[in-house]
Structure 1
């Protein structure tokens, strides 16, 4: 059986080094794509359906972890096995424990042949035993990893005010007035209960750790909503959820990754 793999790495020399080391340890492995950033990794993986993805954690734009989550959200419901994921990281022991708890393999930078050989053997064993995860299992594993607060300790205190620049002034918007935050290129749109919209120059990735995650739920890769603002979650015939907000006509889609947040009692 031909085994295919994708490498996502923004540094060409490191990508080539990993490719060469894999060629020595696993000659029959076919590298079908080398992606220079996270979005390219998602696009290539969806197009070529590799059995294994090696994802660098630190990449410009979408990180390896965010790419894995996006891939899980967009993976087709046609029975195709989800790829085995291996994260390539230079992180510390805190992050490595998070990978282990979530049942993901990892290799450290710079890649050591001895450690990579262990990973290759684990991958071979899993593929031989046909242990590629189903999409629901992959989603559960990724949720566990995302639950590690993006591999960083939680902020000391949740954010209470959003400071919005308006000309020569700074408007102080209480987070209690926010309905939801939405990614908008290099900005985040702040939508309030008063029907006002503000733009703040911060990424959703930077904002999320500053929020109280009991009150603010990420429901999509580009949306964070204040839980108390949700009136109901409506499921359509295809099983997709849409949120209706109190006092607002806006409708927010819930992605596959975050649909587990909404379960009736």
Structure 2
């Protein structure tokens, strides 16, 4: 069967140009969908399960990096993860992050010679996969984790207290009392043993202010205090669920972060 791809690009002319270049350089590659934004890229990716996804880094609603994270977390376990290529305008900081993570990328406007190199790399990777070589998913997940770490916001002073407002009252919540944080649209849900609060910031904004040795991201929308975890239980399908000390909530762990829980 011919290899398949999904393109995610919010500018129609650029999407058409990339598709045309791919048709010339790799006629056997079948582009099964073109998504106009990150959310659509995830939907089309999960619907078609392509071999390759081309993700524009900057898209409205959800970035290419966020779409890659969502695909990795929601991808069915019985299908190899797609090979991912990021398409980006020149940005020295972003390119350094891609290089550090060993993730392939092409620059806008896309040059035929650079795209040809990417196609060659993709063909080699697919050939190794079809030959039965293992470990590709683990490598892809490790690269994505490295990219997420290196492309994150600049380090910030670590929080000791969080101010959570409720009506006319501001609650001063000690960071030591937080069990976990959960993304809730443009807010973050903060959960302690006694109650929960909503704070007006995104999880992306909060993460650089947390000590990563104490607070572990276990899902793209969940960060848990490590010493609040009582058990990590794996079901028959291999999915991990966390139970907490002194709290009834159960927290799912995505495949992207399951490496955190290995028996010693």
TM-score normalised according to structure 1 size: 0.88
Contact 2:3 2:30 in 1 (8 A): yes
Matches within 5 A, 1:247-262: 247-262=246-261
- Contact kept in structure 2, 1:178 and 1:191, CA below 8 Å: yes
String of CA shifts for 1:19-66, please: whole Å, max 9, x gaps: 223233333322111112222212211221212110112223332122
Question: What is the CA-CA distance between 1:190 and the residue it aligns to?
Answer: 0.7
Deviations 1:118-148 (A, max 9, x none): 2122223333444796333322222222232
Residues 1:25 and 2:36 are matched in the alignment:
no
Matches of 2:125 and 2:245 in 1, distance apart? 47
The aligned residue for residue 145 of structure 1 is: 147
Q: How many pairs are equivalent?
A: 261
Q: Which residue of 1 aligns with 2:154?
A: 154
**What is the CA-CA distance between 1:8 and the residue it aligns to?**
0.8
Please give the residue correspondences for 1:171-186 in structure 2 after superposition, counting only pairs within 5 Å. Answer: 171-186=171-186
User: Are 1:88 and 1:108, in contact at CA under 8 Å, matched by a contact in 2?
Assistant: yes
Matching of residue 187 in structure 1 with residue 187 in structure 2: yes
Look up the SS of the partner of 1:62 in the other structure.
coil
Distance apart, 1:92 and its partner CA: 2.8
Separation in structure 1 between the aligned mates of residue 260 and residue 175 of structure 2, nearest angstrom: 21
Runs of 4+ off more than 6 Å: none
Q: Which runs of 5+ in 2 are unaligned?
A: none
CA–CA distance in structure 2, aligned partners of residues 34 and 68 of structure 1: 15
Map 1:158-173; keep pairs closer than 5 Å: 158-173=158-173
Q: Is contact 2:153–2:205 with CA below 8 Å preserved after alignment?
A: no
Once the two structures are overlaid, the 10-residue window that deviates more, 59-68 or 251-260, is 59-68
Residues 204-262 of structure 1 deviation map (CA, whole Å, 9 limit, x = unaligned): 22221221111111111211111121122222333322212121111111111111111
Listed one character per residue, the Cα deviations across residues 138-195 of structure 1 (whole Å, up to 9, x for unaligned) are 22222222232xx1453232122222222234332222211111112222111113x2
Distance 1:89 1:251 in 2: 38
Residue 77 of structure 1 deviates from its aligned partner by 2.6
Contact residue 88 and residue 105 of structure 2 kept, 8 A: yes
Q: Is the deviation greater in 184-193 or in 211-220?
A: 184-193
Say whether residues 1:100 and 2:102 are aligned partners: no
In the alignment, structure 1 segments of 5+ residues that lack a partner are none
State the distance in 1 between where 2:164 and 2:16 align: 44
Following the alignment from structure 1 to structure 2, what is the Cα–Cα distance between the partners of residues 137 and 155?
A: 26
- Identify the residue that residue 87 of structure 2 maps to in structure 1: 88
| 1:46 matched residue in structure 2 | 46
Whole-Å separation in 1 of the counterparts to 2:208 and 2:152: 9
Report how far residue 106 of structure 1 moved. Answer: 0.2
The 1:84/1:238 distance shift into structure 2, 3 A limit, reads closer
Question: Would the aligned equivalents of 1:72 and 1:135 in 2 still touch at CA under 8 Å?
Answer: no
C-alpha contact 1:232 1:244 (8 A) present in aligned 2: yes
Across the aligned residues of Structure 1 and Structure 2, the Cα RMSD in angstroms comes to: 2.2
SS at match of 1:250: strand
Whole-Å separation in 2 of the counterparts to 1:211 and 1:90: 30
